[in-house]
Amino acid sequence: MDILENTIRVLPEYLANQIAAGEVVQRPESIVKELVENSLDAGADSIAVIVRGSGKSLIHIVDNGKGMSKSDLAIAPLRHSTSKIQSQKDLERIISYGFRGEALASITAVASIEIRSKRAIDEHGWSLKSEPLREFEIAPANCDNGTQVFVRNLFYNVPARKKFLKSDLTEFRYISDTMIRFAISHFDKRFTFYDNDTMIFDVHPSAQDIRIKNVLGKSLEGGLIPINFIDEKVEITGFIGLPHLAKPASSNQYLFVNKRAVQSKNLNYAIFSAFEHLLEKNYKPLYVLNLAVDPERVDVNIHPQKNEVKFEDDRVIYNAIHFAVSECLKQHNLTASHNLTSDAGKPFSSGNFAVGAADSPMLVNKLTGEIIEPRFQYSPKPSGQYSSSSLSERQQKGERSIFDDIFSNAKPDLSPILLANKNIVVPDDAQFLQIHNKYILTQSDVGILIIDQHNAHERILYESAIKMMNKELSKSQQLLFPVASSISPSRLIIAKEIEHELKDIGYNFTVDAMGNIEIASVPIDISEGEALQSFIEILDEYAELSKIKHSDKRDNLAASYSCKSAIKTGKKLTHGEMKSLANSLLRCSMPYVCPHGRPVILEISLLDLDKSFKRT
Ligand code: ADP
Ligand code: MG
């Protein structure tokens, strides 16, 4: 061979595109993200996203943006073709999502794509069809103003990438997370999102907090505090969640820089550290924060996926966000007091934890610093005074006493009362009384305890499931006769997704591709006769939970397991059962709230009883 022969070649366009696609299009979600960004850049205020087969068989985006001319459409899918920047100066000042001109090129390199587009001034639109390695086909098309993109057969020419994709459920979750991010940051726009034929959400323009609740769940009601902070470098707006909305996973953390969803460990930490003393160990606060910074002072061209940014001055932004969150918590009197011991003698720690009105103080667990729930302040009054005014009048005046809360049936949403400054201890010789087959009444070393039997059992099972998944505990019982049955395809997907975790908590099973299942053992807390039913209920609950709660697999499974397996309200318990329930509960690391955030124990101290009976 001639040693002088040239060996370096410029890659053909299609190969270059495929290489770029490797970075830009990692999974169906990447396509959804790029296409919705294009729609937003095109000024659309209504965007519909329809996916089939978790985006593997179809991704269809419809927008009402400005559309493209025939000649623009013809070059839009070429590499480095963009209408968004023209000069170096523009690159230093990115105000659009796109600027690299490679999304459409990358998608056309790995899938079949059709774009239909029409500008308002044109009489009809145009369609462009593209298949990898083929010439584009352009033809007149009947379509509305705006742009529609269809992406089919994703990765059919890149089998390695296709193999790399996760289960449908996982890929779908990536897409829905992305859609949630768009929906909560562009709350002034309409988003419609379909998975196969199921509508996931259809949200109309609204205020941001309403949008957040609409997509993240009604459970956030009353739990979001607004943030508004401005200095010359950055403007921070959005919401942080009250500490009780914190989760062991970071799934409820949304950070946007100039409306771009970004990932930043550094800034996450700035926020987390402002919350620090208010959260249970390993819990992550909920937040949706938008940072507006001068586009010249932030570089978004760090990564092909454009979800990392670099600030001109990291430190300034870090400090601003930490300060903004701390101040916000402080203004809502949520910061932990520095002299927690000063009211150690009092049964209820409340003084420093008022949220909103002064008559609804927070309860805080002094051991963990965790805030439990707002409640009405205990303020004993002569009984005559109570009877002179109606309940609602008293509530308005903030005169409700603990006993109203506990013993009146006028208000069903009782808030928990607990001794926050110590561990609850049940004496060995304590008696247990079941009330209405629902609550367990017993005594602690300093007062009365009322335990919700279902919530308590849920907490116990939740913690033991987490321990089993962490391999700190193993409790499983072999069935005398393995149970054989078959499960539906949708349940099969879930069973496969959480197979390891299910096995960890004690379900030993085998399942084939047809859904034929055989269960050989079950968790110790499940009775033999319920092997199959409990298994199926857990799969269903998990599917439900994972739609609404974007926390991690294990947390969702533990919550599903505990919810489905816990003893029900209405079940009669023996003295021994009540005792062991109370003991197991008090051994939990967080006995006061169930995995869904409901209170588990109320404690009324003798001191308070004495005060109320005028003994002190
Ligand atoms: P970029 O967004 O980085 O410019 P893309 O490959 O995503 O690169 O898109 C190329 C060009 O195609 C865009 O600059 C824009 O002019 C045009 N385009 C893409 N999607 C749309 C759309 N939904 N509406 C109008 N124009 C679009
Ligand atoms: Mg783009």
SS3 string, 573-609, reads CCHHHHHHHHHHHHCCCCCCECCCCCECEEEEEHHHH
Is the CB–ligand 1 distance for residue 65 below 6 Å? yes
Query: Any idea how long the chain is?
Result: 616
What percent of the chain has a predicted confidence (pLDDT) above 90?
43
Is the CB–ligand 1 distance for residue 100 below 6 Å? yes
Contacts of 604 (CB under 8 A, 6+ apart): 402, 406, 417, 447, 448, 450
Is the CB–ligand 1 distance for residue 128 below 6 Å? no
Give pLDDT tens digits for 167-214: 888 899 899 999 999 999 999 999 999 988 888 899 999 999 999 999
Give pLDDT tens digits for 395-444: 344 433 333 333 333 322 223 333 333 467 888 899 999 999 999 999 98
Q: Does residue 393 or residue 252 have the better pLDDT?
A: 252
Give pLDDT tens digits for 480-539: 889 999 999 889 999 999 999 999 999 999 999 899 999 999 998 888 888 999 999 999
Side by side, the strands of the sheet bearing 516-523 are 476-486, 516-523, 508-511
**185 alpha carbon to ligand 2 midpoint, in Å?**
18
The mean pLDDT of 553-563, rounded to a whole number, is: 86
pLDDT given for residue 42 in this prediction:
97
What DSSP designation does 304 have?
A: T
How far is it, in rounded angstroms, from Cα 293 to Cα 270? Answer: 17
Q: 334, 355 in Cβ contact below 8 A?
A: yes
Give pLDDT tens digits for 5-42: 778 888 888 888 888 777 888 899 999 999 999 999 99
Is the CB–ligand 1 distance for residue 94 below 6 Å? no
pLDDT given for residue 380 in this prediction:
30
pLDDT given for residue 333 in this prediction:
58
Mutate to test the pocket of ligand 1, among 33, 36, 38 (most ligand atoms within 8 A of CB): 38
Indicate whether 148 pLDDT > 70.
yes
pLDDT given for residue 7 in this prediction:
84
Indicate whether 248 pLDDT > 50.
yes
Ligand nearest to the CA of 82: 1
**214 alpha carbon to ligand 1 midpoint, in Å?**
29
Beta bridge partners of 239: 226, 288
Average pLDDT, the chain: 81
Beta bridge partners of 448: 443, 604
Between the ranges 241-245, 254-258, 416-420, where is the mean pLDDT highest? 254-258
Contacts of 541 (CB under 8 A, 6+ apart): 559, 560, 563, 564
Is the CB–ligand 1 distance for residue 106 below 6 Å? no
Beta bridge partners of 256: 261, 290
Cβ neighbours around 404 below 10 Å, total:
17
Rounded (10°) CA dihedral 505, 508, 514, 516: -120
pLDDT given for residue 476 in this prediction:
85
Give pLDDT tens digits for 334-392: 643 222 222 322 223 332 222 222 223 334 433 344 444 333 322 333 333 333 333 33
- Taking the whole predicted model, whether its pTM rises above 0.75 is answered as no
Indicate the angle between helix axes 28-41 and 168-185, nearest 10 degrees: 20
Q: How far, in Å, are 440, 581, 582 from residue 457 at the CA level?
A: 12, 7, 9
Is the CB–ligand 1 distance for residue 332 below 6 Å? no
How far is it, in rounded angstroms, from Cα 567 to Cα 565? Answer: 7
**103 alpha carbon to ligand 1 midpoint, in Å?**
8
pLDDT given for residue 17 in this prediction:
80
The mean pLDDT of 226-235, rounded to a whole number, is: 93
pLDDT given for residue 601 in this prediction:
84
Is the CB–ligand 1 distance for residue 612 below 6 Å? no
Buried b / exposed e across 165-176, counting CB within 10 Å, b at 16+? beebbebbbbbb
**145 alpha carbon to ligand 2 midpoint, in Å?**
19
Between the ranges 69-78, 150-159, 386-395, 599-608, where is the mean pLDDT highest? 69-78
Phi and psi torsions of 2, nearest 5°: -70, 115
What DSSP designation does 422 have?
A: S
Nearest to 28 by CA among 51, 5, 12, 1: 51
- In the structure, what pLDDT confidence band is assigned to residue 281 with cuts at 50, 70 and 90? low
Contacts of 123 (CB under 8 A, 6+ apart): none
Give pLDDT tens digits for 519-529: 999 998 888 88
pLDDT given for residue 408 in this prediction:
33
pLDDT given for residue 276 in this prediction:
62
| Of the candidate ranges 98-102, 122-126, 333-337, 344-348, the one whose mean pLDDT is the lowest | 344-348
Mutate to test the pocket of ligand 1, among 104, 113, 182 (most ligand atoms within 8 A of CB): 104
pLDDT given for residue 334 in this prediction:
61
How many whole angstroms from its chain centre is CA 267? 18
Give pLDDT tens digits for 295-332: 999 888 888 888 888 888 888 898 899 999 988 887 77
